[in-house]
Amino acid sequence: MFIGVVKDTGIVEQTEPELIIKVDSDSSVEIEIESHLAVNGRVLKVSSIDDNNQVSRLKFFNSNLNQSKSYLPPEKVNLERAVRLGEEIPGAFFYGIPTGLVELVSQELLSDGNVIMKVSFEDDLVNYLSVLDVVCLDGVLVQIIDIDNYLLSFNVYPNTLKITNLGEKKSGNKLSIELDPLTIKVAKIFQKQLF
């Protein structure tokens, strides 16, 4: 399980024949072989770790190869470790399995340093979302502040922009989106009743 609180990023070094992501050695201290990481919101399993000076290279199992082809070296990716028993859970639970993709439509820098991000979510699941719901964009927990048809708006804080890859995204970029699993379950129940 994941909660959408990203504390580390990595750089995609290669995608074939295996996915390799470079991280600072400090970031890899708690990562073990066969542990699960959410990479831009998608859960992947670490197959090996190569440490060299101040950089570690995380290699992932080939079963994730289809997903890894969507990354473009040297793309910066968000990394999140799975929740451990006994840790504080400050937000919602997520499975690390994105619901779909959204397209970044615009970003507006506010005077306080926050950025209003607007994304287009062309999916009927948007009808089951409300203002103040939380979702994960590329694995980063964000709260919806406005919904206008298929357009979702988020207020992203400066620290989030600094720590994650969201600050590097441009209009037209695709981001993975994951909805709260309960929202998806309710949507499926209602969809079954309608047909």
SS (H, E, C) the chain: CECCCCCEEEEEEECCCCCEEEEEHHHHCCCCCCCEEEECCEEEEEEEEEEECCEEEEEECHHHHHHHCCCCCCCEEEEEECCCCCCCCCCCCECCCCCEEEEEEEEEECCCCCEEEEEECCCHHHHHCCCCCEEEECCEEEEEEEEECCEEEEEECHHHHHHCCHHHCCCCCEEEEEECHHHHHHHHHHHHHHC
Q: Are both 180 and 119 inside the same structural domain?
A: yes
Contact 152, 118 (CB under 8 A): yes
**Higher local confidence (pLDDT), 74 or 89:** 74
Q: The domain spanning residue 61 has which CATH number?
A: 2.40.30.20
Q: Are both 119 and 174 inside the same structural domain?
A: yes
Q: Are both 66 and 105 inside the same structural domain?
A: no
In a domain, 40, yes or no: yes
Average pLDDT of the segment spanning 117-140: 95
Query: 12, 132, 126: which is closest to 60 by C-alpha?
Result: 12
Q: Are both 105 and 182 inside the same structural domain?
A: yes
Residue 65 pLDDT class (50, 70, 90 cuts):
low
Question: CA-to-CA distance for 2 and 89, rounded, in angstroms?
Answer: 9
Q: Are both 71 and 115 inside the same structural domain?
A: no
Residue 195 pLDDT class (50, 70, 90 cuts):
low
Domain that includes residue 32, residue range: 8-81
Contact 164, 172 (CB under 8 A): no
In a domain, 94, yes or no: no
Q: Quick check: 4 pLDDT over 90?
A: no
Question: CA-to-CA distance for 102 and 178, rounded, in angstroms?
Answer: 10
Number of structural domains found in the chain = 2
Q: Are both 67 and 110 inside the same structural domain?
A: no
Global pTM reads 0.85
In tens, the pLDDT along 8-43 reads: 999 999 988 889 999 987 777 778 899 899 999 999
- What's the chain's average pLDDT? 89
In a domain, 69, yes or no: yes
Contact 58, 45 (CB under 8 A): no
For position 135, what pLDDT does the model report? 96
Average pLDDT of the segment spanning 90-103: 87
